[in-house]
Amino acid sequence: MARIVVIGAGMGAMAAAARLAVAGHRVTVYERAETYGGAVGRFERDGFAFDTGPGLLHLPAVYRDLFVKTGKEPLERCVELTQVDPASRHVFADGTAVSLPNASRAGVVSALDAALGAGAGTRWGEFLNRARDAWDRSRRPLLEEPLPGDVTRFARDPYPALKTGLLRRSATTLAEVGRRELRDPRLAALLESHALAYGFDPATAPAAAAVLPYMEQTFGSWYVSGGVRALADAVYERCLERKVEFVLGTEVTGVVAEDGRVTGVELAGREVVEADHVVAGAPLPALYRDQVLEWDSQEEWPRHQRGVRTGRVTVCLALRGAREADAVHRTVVHSAGREDELDALARGRLCDRPTVVVLRPGDERLRPDADHESVTVTATVPAGGAWASENLWGVAQTAAVEAFADRMVEAAAAAVPGLRERLLWRVVRTPADTFRDTGVFQVPGPALAGARGSLLPAANAAPLGGLYFAGGWAHPGGGLAHAGMSGALVAGLIVEGADFRGSQ
Per-residue b/e over 191-228, b at no fewer than 16 CB within 10 Å? bbbbbbbbbbbbbbbbbbbbbbbbbbbbebbbbbebbb
**Side chain identity at 352, as an amino acid letter?**
D
**Nearest alpha carbon to residue 454 among 283, 298, 303:** 303
| pLDDT on residue 290 | 46
Q: Respond yes or no on whether the N-terminal peptide bond of residue 476 is cis (omega within 30° of 0).
A: yes
* DSSP string covering 312-340: EEEEEEEEESPPPTT--SEEEE--S-HHH
Residue 306's pLDDT is what? 47
459: which residues sit within 8 A by CB, 6+ positions away? 146, 147, 149, 469, 474, 475
pLDDT at 384: 66
CA distance 503 to 227: 28
Model-level pTM greater than 0.85? yes
Among left, alpha and beta (phi > 0; psi -120 to 50; other), residue 307 is: alpha
Q: Which helix (H) or strand (E) holds 127?
A: helix 120-139
Q: Are 311 and 401 in contact (CB under 8 A)?
A: no
97-121 residue pLDDT tens: 999 999 899 999 999 999 999 999 9
Max CA distance (Å), the chain: 67
- Ranges of the chain with pLDDT below 70: 164-168, 283-308, 384-391, 396, 503-504
Read off the amino acid at residue 64: R
d(CA 458, CA 446): 11
